[in-house]
Amino acid sequence: MKKVIFSGIQPSAQSPHIGNYLGALRQWVELQKNYQAYYCVVDLHAITVPQEKKKLNDSIYATYAMLLAIGIDPNMSNIFVQSHVRQHTELTWILNCFTHLGELNRMTQFKEKSAKQTKIVSAGLYDYPVLMAVDILLYHTNIIPVGEDQVQHIELTRDIADRFNNAYGEVFTLPTARIVKETARIMSLSDPKNKMSKSDANLNATVFLTDKPDVIRKKIMSAVTDSKKSIEFDKKRLGLYNLLGIYKAVTGESEKEIENHFSGKGYKEFKSELAEALIEIIKPMQQKYTTYIADKTTLEIYMRQNAHKAAIVAEQTVRRVKEKLGFII
């Protein structure tokens, strides 16, 4: 029996960005070969902050198409849209009743995201970690390939699962987060103190996987750095350190090799080589993406087939939980 992995991405923009890709999605492609993979476009998570109908609808198709374009195989992996599997919402209600308010109050991502909301903060945003726990627990997930920002959510997932198991007997598998250290947190190009985000209002902060070569060049060349000259890995030089981290992740070269390569060269040369390296890895994804996004009928067939497969497993889990609780099933 293969071990199970689950991971999700929010359709909160027209495309994932290089932070999503290097921090998580690139691993998804490799992991699907050795694991039973569930990859989910988490539209229910996306509506925890306000979304426009048309943009959200486009982003769901676009995110799904990009996952196929980067190499997720819908016949090997279970790649589906979260709202197509109703068990996610059903189990969320149940596990809400096994989650403590104090636990949700401690969630760093809620604090960060709620602070950014200008109008209202929805109860959904507060409850986001429980929905995420359900995403993971429904499929008996063993491993979750994620960026560092999600580790606290995985710990909460384990706590909720453990609490339920202790009260009612073994139902849930306790999952473990899997993180690639170097690329776990790609930072904003305009403000390297903050992580790169799809929903950043400043478009220069983020390189999207759908950005055209000239846009990538412009964004990288205008990335915030410092007034020093040398190109070296120095954690205190936030902007440069972030760009070097991206370069390292994209080229696969070691820090020593990179520093030797750029010894005696300045920001201009470094940034233009970084931009070209990014364009090179993104180009084949964009070519495939153009084909997938042009054929929504085929995308919908993949979505429905995969949701159907996921729902069979999810329903077994929900029934087991209900039975344990004493519900009549």
Name the residues that contact ligand AQP, by CB under 6 A: 8-10, 12, 17, 19-20, 23-24, 146-147, 149-150, 184-186, 195-199
Compute and round to an integer the Cα radius of gyration of the chain: 21
Instruction: Please state the closest distance from residue 21 (CB atom) to ligand AQP, in A.
Output: 8
CA distance 263 to 37: 42
Q: Choose the catalytic residue: 198, 219, 248, 271.
A: 198
> Residue 149 or residue 315: which is nearer to ligand AQP going by CB?
149
Instruction: Please state the closest distance from residue 125 (CB atom) to ligand AQP, in A.
Output: 11
CA distance 204 to 223: 8
Minimal CB distance residue for ligand AQP: 23
Instruction: Please state the closest distance from residue 48 (CB atom) to ligand AQP, in A.
Output: 10
CB 177, CB 154: distance < 8 Å: yes
> Distance between alpha carbon 199 and the CA centroid of its chain, in Å?
13
CA distance 265 to 258: 11
Instruction: Please state the closest distance from residue 109 (CB atom) to ligand AQP, in A.
Output: 7
Q: Which residues contact 30 (CB under 8 A, 6 or more apart)?
A: none
Q: Choose the catalytic residue: 2, 33, 54, 113.
A: 113
> Distance between alpha carbon 121 and the CA centroid of its chain, in Å?
22
> Residue 136 or residue 196: which is nearer to ligand AQP going by CB?
196
> Is residue 235 among the annotated active site residues?
no
CB 61, CB 299: distance < 8 Å: yes
CA distance 306 to 324: 28
> Residue 201 or residue 328: which is nearer to ligand AQP going by CB?
201
Instruction: Please state the closest distance from residue 198 (CB atom) to ligand AQP, in A.
Output: 4
CB 34, CB 254: distance < 8 Å: no
Residue 209: closest CA among 2, 9, 42, 8: 9
> Residue 17 or residue 318: which is nearer to ligand AQP going by CB?
17
> Is residue 55 among the annotated active site residues?
no
Are β-strands 143-145 and 176-178 bridged in parallel, bridged antiparallel, or unpaired? parallel
Instruction: Please state the closest distance from residue 45 (CB atom) to ligand AQP, in A.
Output: 7
> Is residue 195 among the annotated active site residues?
yes
What is the torsion angle, in degrees rounded to the nearest 10, for the CA atoms of residue 188, residue 191, residue 192 and residue 197?
Answer: -20
> Residue 125 or residue 314: which is nearer to ligand AQP going by CB?
125
Q: Which helix (H) or strand (E) holds 18?
A: helix 18-20
Q: Choose the catalytic residue: 116, 195, 248, 268.
A: 195
> Residue 171 or residue 215: which is nearer to ligand AQP going by CB?
215
CA distance 95 to 253: 44
Torsion region of 281: left, alpha or beta (phi above 0 gives left; psi -120 to 50 gives alpha): alpha
Residues catalogued as catalytic: 113, 195, 198
